Structure 1
């Protein structure tokens, strides 16, 4: 999509969140610049100009708006919460009470609202799910129900059993019948992403602003015969390290283990996506030809759309036969940013 003044002005008037991170609007009459979603009253079209980076706006002498705060990354995890998440990852049995939050100069109600918004549960519920996840893994390693419960911070065996059954759908004694899909929030330069992992590897990596994210998460878990539970997973560290290197332009091939769930045909399609060289663009017809049948363009496009491991399985490298960018689950603007990143790295090699 080619962005012109008219499209960007309309997006700003409509406060369209799909353009967050794509452009910033400078207001000539006030000397400030804003996000596309700024709630301040929009000036006339002739009184604004647009920039594709914060640095560009500031170089022209514009000051950041105090209402929408364009220098901050929207939706980024607050530092204090990031610290607690790292503590829980390192010690899933940890309990952080409301009193402990106050000692950290955090208002419990504020923390509660943040977790409800981003995880659909309160902070205390999140911690409980984290502990249940850790307990289930201990059970699968051969620990007794008693040891798993008390080693995971549960003070009551009956409370542990009730909570376990509520989350996993089976009693602790039946743990062999259930698995967990661990879920973690990850911050990237293109916005928040949510990763899912099972024992075999990463099974989901989606942008957090997708409207169907809860349904996608539930669907992936169902395909793995697992329950979605926030928790630590060894594959998350590997994924985060590689994502950081990728966005820094220092990594062109991912090695983190993957566990995509789908039909045999879908898995073959996703395998061809991983064969597209870094920095290159294929058409759907090229991808179909790689699979041995150029006439399966529509089937290939549908399978690409069902790829639930963004970036690592690079469906962003597939474009239309006319050279135009086609739909992308994370938004066409993100597809453009990813392609631009890879092209710039290739150009510098």
Structure 2
């Protein structure tokens, strides 16, 4: 998406690599003349001198100029991809999804338990062992809903006793095995995008959450949807999540302007009206909070519209990033104002010849 966007000034880009500013990810690539390597802005390698660097809008441009990708920050991969050092662990987890892992098991693979814990906390918002427990619970729920007996399900998924399985199920889902047979969980899966990884949550009823993983309010959002829909939230895959990932990929490639996904957007009548108006803002255009307030028949409710905008649980798909202040300044985006600017630049560059309809200034 960065090939069509205007780059920041060289001074801004150099300062970004000095600061290792991850918010510049996806905006530019830095190449080091003395090593022949190109990196992400947030790469933790030693900062090169200013006279030894040049900047590119994309990895393709850096490759065409003869540079090779950094092995440390891996700029050819999507941010949030499973790193090489962690790949063997994921392969073993896939081959034996019900296995109980210990720190000694991790160390036998040459992995630091602390490093693994930190990676899972950053990318899944839970520790490695918590992730394993919820994953095993999810597989157990699938077994129960398929008609398997409770004892077999418990033993097959690594639980040492029936009582231990019941307690874990109650702790993580709030349900007994009997209840779990008839209560579909909300499944959560990571989706990689050029602006960083996102978490998508949904099931047969539709997509109910799509947020960037670094959003501070994400844990509270999960609590809200669990209570709102009275369903447990567990790691897992689902066709609606796979379709969400596919449509997001097309969106970032400039091949899709609207999303065709089943959505669960339960809210108050006012919230529902605002969210519907968000979906009606055309691709590549913007509206002000005041304009939305008028549209929903509440011309003095600009602040309430802003709060409802912030309560939107479906980033990009329900395009709250298309709402700006009346003077064109950007403000109020939970995913980060830098992402809001990038999304608008992508859309406006795709819909026209790259002419921005608004200045896209960020109001700090």
Q: TM-score, normalised by structure 1?
A: 0.79
Do structure 1's residue 95 and structure 2's residue 95 form an aligned pair? no
- Cα distance between partner residues in 2 of 1:296 and 1:273: 15
Aligned match of 1:201: 206
- Aligned residue runs from structure 1 range 129-148, under 5 A: 129-137=134-142, 139=144, 145-146=150-151, 148=153
- Cα distance between partner residues in 1 of 2:351 and 2:302: 28
The 8 Å contact of residues 283 and 318 in structure 1, kept in 2 or not, is answered as: yes
How many residue pairs were aligned?
340
- Cα distance between partner residues in 2 of 1:47 and 1:87: 44
- Return the offset for 1:267: 2.2
- Cα distance between partner residues in 1 of 2:144 and 2:74: 47
- Cα distance between partner residues in 2 of 1:286 and 1:67: 46
Aligned match of 2:257: 252
Go from structure 1 to structure 2 and tell me whether the alpha carbon gap of 1:2 and 1:251 turns closer, same or farther (over 3 Å shift): closer
| Secondary structure of the corresponding residue to residue 188 of structure 1 | coil
- Cα distance between partner residues in 1 of 2:89 and 2:300: 48
Q: Greater CA deviation, 1-10 or 209-218?
A: 1-10
The 8 Å contact of residues 115 and 122 in structure 1, kept in 2 or not, is answered as: yes
Query: Which consecutive unaligned segments of at least 5 residues does structure 2 have?
Result: 1-5, 354-364
The 8 Å contact of residues 284 and 348 in structure 2, kept in 1 or not, is answered as: yes
The 8 Å contact of residues 179 and 225 in structure 1, kept in 2 or not, is answered as: no
Go from structure 1 to structure 2 and tell me whether the alpha carbon gap of 1:239 and 1:66 turns closer, same or farther (over 3 Å shift): closer
- Aligned residue runs from structure 1 range 327-346, under 5 A: 327-346=332-351
- Cα distance between partner residues in 2 of 1:295 and 1:127: 49
Aligned match of 2:189: 184
Q: Greater CA deviation, 42-51 or 9-18?
A: 42-51
- Cα distance between partner residues in 2 of 1:85 and 1:300: 47
Q: Greater CA deviation, 136-145 or 316-325?
A: 136-145
The 8 Å contact of residues 284 and 347 in structure 2, kept in 1 or not, is answered as: yes
**Aligned partner (choices 6, 12, 17) of residue 12 of structure 1:** 17
| Secondary structure of the corresponding residue to residue 267 of structure 1 | helix
- Return the offset for 1:296: 2.0
- Aligned residue runs from structure 1 range 47-126, under 5 A: 48-65=53-70, 67-78=72-83, 80=87, 84=91, 94-96=97-99, 112-113=116-117, 114-115=119-120, 117-119=122-124, 125-126=130-131
Aligned match of 2:315: 310
- Aligned residue runs from structure 1 range 263-274, under 5 A: 263-274=268-279
Do structure 1's residue 297 and structure 2's residue 295 form an aligned pair? no
The 8 Å contact of residues 283 and 320 in structure 1, kept in 2 or not, is answered as: yes
Go from structure 1 to structure 2 and tell me whether the alpha carbon gap of 1:82 and 1:246 turns closer, same or farther (over 3 Å shift): farther
The 8 Å contact of residues 76 and 191 in structure 1, kept in 2 or not, is answered as: no
- Cα distance between partner residues in 2 of 1:30 and 1:174: 60
How far does the alpha carbon of each residue in 1:216-270 deviate from its partner, in whole angstroms, 9 at most, with x for none? 3333323333333212334212222322332333332222211134433222211
Aligned match of 2:177: 172
**Aligned partner (choices 326, 333, 336) of residue 331 of structure 2:** 326
- Return the offset for 1:295: 2.5
- Cα distance between partner residues in 2 of 1:244 and 1:166: 36
The 8 Å contact of residues 18 and 47 in structure 2, kept in 1 or not, is answered as: yes
The 8 Å contact of residues 26 and 194 in structure 2, kept in 1 or not, is answered as: no
Q: Greater CA deviation, 36-45 or 9-18?
A: 36-45
- Cα distance between partner residues in 2 of 1:263 and 1:107: 51
How far does the alpha carbon of each residue in 1:289-309 deviate from its partner, in whole angstroms, 9 at most, with x for none? 221233322221221122121
| Secondary structure of the corresponding residue to residue 294 of structure 1 | coil
